[in-house]
Amino acid sequence: MFYAMLALGLSQGFESSKHQQMIGWFNKNFVHTGIFPSHFGQLVKKAFESRSNADYEINQIPAIAGIEVLFANMKLFISTIKAWLEANPAT
Protein backbone atom coordinates (compact mmCIF):
# COMPACT_ATOMS: atom_id res chain seq x y z
CA MET A 1 0.00 0.00 0.00
CA PHE A 2 2.92 2.30 0.76
CA TYR A 3 4.34 1.83 -2.73
CA ALA A 4 0.95 2.52 -4.31
CA MET A 5 0.82 5.78 -2.35
CA LEU A 6 4.41 6.49 -3.35
CA ALA A 7 3.52 6.03 -7.04
CA LEU A 8 0.59 8.39 -6.51
CA GLY A 9 2.86 10.90 -4.80
CA LEU A 10 5.46 10.73 -7.54
CA SER A 11 2.77 11.38 -10.14
CA GLN A 12 1.91 14.54 -8.22
CA GLY A 13 5.48 15.71 -7.58
CA PHE A 14 5.61 14.50 -3.97
CA GLU A 15 8.05 11.98 -2.57
CA SER A 16 8.78 10.69 0.92
CA SER A 17 10.46 7.62 2.34
CA LYS A 18 8.62 8.13 5.65
CA HIS A 19 5.45 6.08 6.01
CA GLN A 20 3.70 8.54 8.34
CA GLN A 21 4.48 11.50 6.10
CA MET A 22 3.21 9.62 3.04
CA ILE A 23 0.03 8.60 4.84
CA GLY A 24 -0.57 12.20 5.95
CA TRP A 25 -0.01 13.50 2.44
CA PHE A 26 -2.34 10.86 0.99
CA ASN A 27 -5.09 11.65 3.48
CA LYS A 28 -4.78 15.41 2.97
CA ASN A 29 -4.72 15.32 -0.82
CA PHE A 30 -6.85 12.33 -1.72
CA VAL A 31 -9.05 11.23 1.18
CA HIS A 32 -10.09 14.57 2.68
CA THR A 33 -10.73 15.95 -0.81
CA GLY A 34 -13.07 13.05 -1.63
CA ILE A 35 -10.99 11.62 -4.47
CA PHE A 36 -10.76 8.34 -2.57
CA PRO A 37 -13.26 7.07 0.02
CA SER A 38 -12.66 7.96 3.66
CA HIS A 39 -12.18 4.34 4.66
CA PHE A 40 -8.98 4.26 2.58
CA GLY A 41 -7.32 6.51 5.14
CA GLN A 42 -8.37 4.12 7.89
CA LEU A 43 -7.13 1.10 5.90
CA VAL A 44 -3.69 2.61 5.47
CA LYS A 45 -3.49 3.55 9.13
CA LYS A 46 -4.53 0.06 10.26
CA ALA A 47 -2.11 -1.64 7.87
CA PHE A 48 0.76 0.56 9.06
CA GLU A 49 -0.09 -0.10 12.71
CA SER A 50 -0.30 -3.86 12.09
CA ARG A 51 3.03 -3.85 10.31
CA SER A 52 4.68 -1.76 13.04
CA ASN A 53 3.29 -3.97 15.79
CA ALA A 54 4.46 -7.14 14.05
CA ASP A 55 7.92 -5.63 13.47
CA TYR A 56 8.55 -4.10 16.88
CA GLU A 57 6.31 -5.65 19.52
CA ILE A 58 7.21 -8.94 21.16
CA ASN A 59 4.66 -11.70 20.47
CA GLN A 60 2.51 -9.49 18.26
CA ILE A 61 1.46 -12.00 15.64
CA PRO A 62 -1.64 -10.89 13.76
CA ALA A 63 -4.58 -13.30 13.53
CA ILE A 64 -5.06 -15.04 10.19
CA ALA A 65 -8.60 -13.72 9.81
CA GLY A 66 -7.33 -10.18 10.27
CA ILE A 67 -4.58 -10.73 7.73
CA GLU A 68 -7.07 -12.07 5.17
CA VAL A 69 -9.29 -8.99 5.57
CA LEU A 70 -6.31 -6.68 5.35
CA PHE A 71 -5.09 -8.50 2.23
CA ALA A 72 -8.47 -8.12 0.50
CA ASN A 73 -8.56 -4.43 1.42
CA MET A 74 -4.99 -3.99 0.21
CA LYS A 75 -5.86 -5.42 -3.20
CA LEU A 76 -8.83 -3.04 -3.51
CA PHE A 77 -6.69 -0.10 -2.39
CA ILE A 78 -3.94 -0.84 -4.91
CA SER A 79 -6.32 -1.51 -7.81
CA THR A 80 -8.20 1.72 -7.09
CA ILE A 81 -5.00 3.78 -7.05
CA LYS A 82 -3.77 2.03 -10.19
CA ALA A 83 -7.03 2.86 -11.99
CA TRP A 84 -6.80 6.48 -10.84
CA LEU A 85 -3.21 6.75 -12.05
CA GLU A 86 -4.18 5.30 -15.43
CA ALA A 87 -7.06 7.78 -15.75
CA ASN A 88 -4.92 10.71 -14.57
CA PRO A 89 -1.45 10.33 -16.09
CA ALA A 90 1.31 12.56 -14.74
CA THR A 91 2.10 15.58 -16.84
Predicted confidence (pLDDT) per residue in 39-80, tens digit: 999 999 888 887 777 767 777 676 788 888 889 999 999 999
List of residues 6+ apart from 19 with CB closer than 8 A:
2, 48
Give me the mean pLDDT over the 16-24 stretch: 92
Q: Where are the beta strands (DSSP E) in the chain?
A: none
Of the chain, the percentage scoring pLDDT greater than 90 comes to 65
26 pLDDT band, cuts 50/70/90, is very high
pTM for the predicted model, two decimal places: 0.82
Rounded to 5 degrees, what are φ and ψ at 29?
Answer: -95, -20
